[in-house]
Amino acid sequence: MSSGQTAALGELRAARRRRFVERLDVMEVLYRVYLAAIFGGIALVVIAGWVEEAPATAAAVADMKEHGPAVLGLALALAVLVGLRSGSRGGPLAIEAAEVQYVLLAPIDRGAALRPAAWRQLRIAVLAGAVLGAVVGNFVFRRLPGSPVGWIVCLALFGALLPVCALAAALLGSGRRLRPLVASAIGAALVAWSLADLLLGATTSPATMAGELGTLPLQSGESHLVLAAAGLAIALALTGLGLRAAGRIALEAARRRAALTAELRFSASVQDLRTVVLLRRQLASERPRRRPWIRLGVASARHPVWRRGWQSFLRWPLGRLARVLAIAVAAGAATAGAWSGVTLLFVLPGALLMVAALDLVEPLAQEADHPTRRELLPVPVDTLMQRHLGPSFAAMATVLLVGVATALALGAPTTVAAVGAVTLVPTALVLACCAGLSATNDPYRYVLTPQLGYVQSAAPVVIAVVAAGGPVLAAREAARHGGSAVGAAIGIEVAMLLIGVAMAWWLGRRMAEQSAVAP
């Protein structure tokens, strides 16, 4: 690239940055920072006061020493798998359509043109990951031996490494033009290697080596330090390779992503969750199967909505099935961890299961997407939408069963199974309703009062977190204090069941109110 072309690229980008800053509404930014500071501060104070982490038992510490690096390594391997898959579809860079047309078609080095964007994404990932890791470290040092600073620094480093490795793998996959199957195979091999490390108590996979970094305050001996350094070096090398490959991106994928990411950003900015879900699927090239996994028998006139729901699920692509299964397993693992004493993990199952629930309410969301067709059916809209909750609820209950089985497989006591059996139906109902409400929210309803819009978007997620984590937390506390775990869970679940029924009623009523055709 000649110096004139480099200068043109640099000058234009500098001018665009200046223009962006000039157009920024400073008061709006300050208002958002102010809101974030207030709510973030309140959340931190509440959580800090609420979470009373009991020190881990000697057995738990020994277990953490032996398996901690492999568990963290497995998480890193999964992040690399996700990154590689994203890269095989053209991720992670989202380039403007004009940038593709004018810069990437110009006779300049594409690597030099694209690396600043890749650096920007990596910087954001490092910052976000490090902050999250430091927050986790802040809670971990209360339970485990080791210096607070050591835990915060090590987990901040590991937290930064996790998204960086995912992004670097994506850049490498995209630059190397890996086919989705090859990318998945490479990622799956790394996951299998890390899983083998976990099962055998060894540290051979590069991901497990990087995992050593996250548990260094627990470990003694120079070998762990060397392994952690090796893991860090491998991760940095991966990042370097990813950045080097950035210029070899396929323009076809870049153009497709350019259009989709522009829409995705807009949808996210107005909290249009349904559109975000649909666009994310398009970005991932996630299409329903032409042939269902199982063909349902001859149709009867009875229960058409129930049948339609299962027809939808039976056309799920493998990637979506794997994602929901992985979410169920992760939610079960988080529940097991929370039951063993890491209170903060109670937040995870609900947040994770909400993502799965958004996939599971697809038949309902499809109905909401097509109001004219819906309203011409000879069925009241509210009844129709409530019937659509049926298959979603049944599928959600199946997902929860997988979660409970995972928790048991990871060593949770049988009490967890009993609590799971009691909580299954109400939790599945509430999660399906939360996702149903999220998927059918009108993002423009509160456009003049955005605060109400935030509440409308956040409420289902908060309810899902409480519905999935609350009963287990109550049961654990009851068990710790000699009470009946199942009894405590039942108390909360009755309330959850009532909330679920109320949400189902509200969902139907809201859709009926939005009806364009008079009843």
Partner 1 sequence: MIAGVDVQADPPVLAATGLGRTYDGFIALSSFSLELGAGELVALVGPNGAGKTTFLTLAAGLLEPSSGSIAIAGAPAGSIPARRALSYLPDTPVFYEDLSLGEHLTYVAALHGVADAGARASELMERLGLGAWEDSLPSEFSHGMRQKASIAIALVRPFAVLLADEPFDGLDPPSRDVLFELLAEARKAGAAVVVSTHRPDVIAAASRCVGIRDGRLAYDGLPEADALAEFFEP
Residues that bind partner 1 (CB under 8 A): 2, 4-5, 7-9, 12, 15-16, 19-20, 23, 96-103, 105-109, 250-252, 255
Q: How far is the CB of 74 from partner 1 (least distance, A)?
A: 34
Residue among 252 and 477 whose Cβ is closer to partner 1: 252
> In terms of C-beta density within 10 A (0-12 exposed, 13-18 middle, 19 or more buried), how is residue 11 classed?
exposed
What distance in Å separates the CA atoms of residue 70 and residue 79, rounded to the nearest whole number?
14
Q: Letter for the amino acid at 18?
A: R
Residue among 100 and 402 whose Cβ is closer to partner 1: 100
In 3-state terms, what secondary structure has residue 54?
coil
User: How many other CB atoms are found less than 10 A from the CB of residue 286?
Assistant: 17
Q: Identify the residue whose tokens are 């063909």.
A: 295
Cα distances (Å, whole numbers) of residue 263 to 85, 352, 370: 22, 24, 20
Q: How far is the CB of 179 from partner 1 (least distance, A)?
A: 13
On whether the CB atoms of residues 325 and 393 are closer than 8 A, the answer is: no
Q: How far is the CB of 259 from partner 1 (least distance, A)?
A: 10
Residue among 95 and 407 whose Cβ is closer to partner 1: 95
Q: Identify the residue whose tokens are 């959340």.
A: 43
Q: How far is the CB of 86 from partner 1 (least distance, A)?
A: 19
User: How many other CB atoms are found less than 10 A from the CB of residue 402?
Assistant: 16
Q: How far is the CB of 104 from partner 1 (least distance, A)?
A: 9
Q: How far is the CB of 24 from partner 1 (least distance, A)?
A: 12
In 3-state terms, what secondary structure has residue 447?
coil
Cα distances (Å, whole numbers) of residue 95 to 120, 178, 248, 259: 12, 19, 14, 9
On whether the CB atoms of residues 354 and 434 are closer than 8 A, the answer is: yes
Q: How far is the CB of 108 from partner 1 (least distance, A)?
A: 6
Q: How far is the CB of 266 from partner 1 (least distance, A)?
A: 12
What distance in Å separates the CA atoms of residue 333 and residue 226, rounded to the nearest whole number?
29
Q: Letter for the amino acid at 315?
A: R
Residue among 287 and 373 whose Cβ is closer to partner 1: 287
Residue among 252 and 442 whose Cβ is closer to partner 1: 252
Q: How far is the CB of 18 from partner 1 (least distance, A)?
A: 10
Residue among 104 and 461 whose Cβ is closer to partner 1: 104
Residue among 99 and 263 whose Cβ is closer to partner 1: 99
Give just the sign of the alpha carbon dihedral 135, 137, 142, 147.
negative
User: Considering only CA atoms, which of 98, 343, 69 is closest in space to residue 206?
Assistant: 69
Residue among 89 and 143 whose Cβ is closer to partner 1: 89
Residue among 110 and 274 whose Cβ is closer to partner 1: 110
Which residues are CB-contacts of 25 (< 8 A; sequence separation ≥ 6)?
none
What distance in Å separates the CA atoms of residue 191 and residue 330, rounded to the nearest whole number?
15
What distance in Å separates the CA atoms of residue 50 and residue 385, rounded to the nearest whole number?
38
What distance in Å separates the CA atoms of residue 271 and residue 274, rounded to the nearest whole number?
9
Q: How far is the CB of 352 from partner 1 (least distance, A)?
A: 32
Which residues are CB-contacts of 178 (< 8 A; sequence separation ≥ 6)?
84, 87, 88, 172, 186
Residue among 234 and 262 whose Cβ is closer to partner 1: 262
User: Considering only CA atoms, which of 431, 440, 363, 364 is closest in space to residue 398?
Assistant: 431
Residue among 288 and 341 whose Cβ is closer to partner 1: 288
Q: How far is the CB of 22 from partner 1 (least distance, A)?
A: 10
